[in-house]
Structure 1
Amino acid sequence: MALTLVTGGTGHLGRDIVDRLVRAGSRVRVLARTPGVRSNVEWAAGDLAAGAGLQDALHDVDTVIHAATFSPIARRGGIRPIDFFRSPSAVDVEGTERLLACAEKAGVRHFLHVSIVGLDEATLPYARVKLAGERLVRASALSWSIVRAMPFYYLLDRLLAGLSWLPVWPVPTTRFDPVDTSDVADHVVTCAFDGQRGVRTEIGGPEALDLVAFARQYQDARRLHRRILPIDLSETKARGMGFVASQGVRGHLTWTDWLRRNSPEA
Structure 2
Amino acid sequence: MTVLVTGASGTLGSAVVPRLQKQGYAVRPMTRSARTGWVTADLRTGDGLEEAVRGVAVIVHLASSPGRPQQTDVEGTRRLVAAARTAGVEHFLYVSINGIDRVPYRYYQAKLDTEAVVKASGIPCTILRAAQFHDFAEMLLSGLSRLGPVLIDGKWQLQTVAIEDVADRIAELIARPATGETTEYAGPQVLTFEELARSWLAAKGSKRPVWQVRLPGRMARAIRDGAQTTAAIPAGTRTWRDYLAAKY
Per the TM superposition, whether the score is higher than 0.5 is yes
Structure 1: where are the runs of 5+ without partners? 73-86
Aligned mate of 1:130, from 97, 111, 125:
111
Please tell me whether residue 53 in structure 1 is matched to residue 48 in structure 2: yes
CA distances 1:3-54 after superposition (whole Å, capped 9, x unpaired): 11010111111121111111011111011012445xxxx5111111121100
CA distances 1:207-261 after superposition (whole Å, capped 9, x unpaired): 1011100011111112222222334469954464585212222111111221232
1:78 alignment partner in structure 2:
none
Contact 1:31–1:44 (8 Å) recurs in 2: yes
Please tell me whether residue 71 in structure 1 is matched to residue 66 in structure 2: yes
Q: Which amino acid aligns with 1:216?
A: R
SS of the counterpart of 1:155?
helix
Per-residue deviation, 1:127: 0.8
Please tell me whether residue 95 in structure 1 is matched to residue 80 in structure 2: no
Q: Distance in 2 between matches of 1:105 and 1:148?
A: 26
2:239 alignment partner in structure 1:
254
2:184 alignment partner in structure 1:
202
Q: Distance in 2 between matches of 1:194 and 1:15?
A: 22
Structure 2: where are the runs of 5+ without partners? none
2:2 alignment partner in structure 1:
3
Supply the RMSD in Å over aligned alpha carbons: 2.1
Range with bigger deviation, 116-125 or 221-230: 221-230
Q: Which amino acid aligns with 1:95?
A: G
Contact 1:174–1:232 (8 Å) recurs in 2: no
Contact 2:91–2:178 (8 Å) recurs in 1: no
Contact 1:150–1:204 (8 Å) recurs in 2: yes
The alignment-based identity, stated in percent, is: 35
Aligned mate of 2:157, from 175, 197, 202:
175
Q: Distance in 2 between matches of 1:168 and 1:43?
A: 43
Q: Distance in 1 between matches of 2:187 and 2:147?
A: 28
SS of the counterpart of 1:122?
coil
Q: Distance in 1 between matches of 2:86 and 2:137?
A: 39
Q: Which amino acid aligns with 1:4?
A: V
Contact 1:6–1:18 (8 Å) recurs in 2: yes
Q: Distance in 1 between matches of 2:147 and 2:188?
A: 29
Aligned mate of 2:130, from 149, 161, 168:
149
Q: Which amino acid aligns with 2:102?
A: E
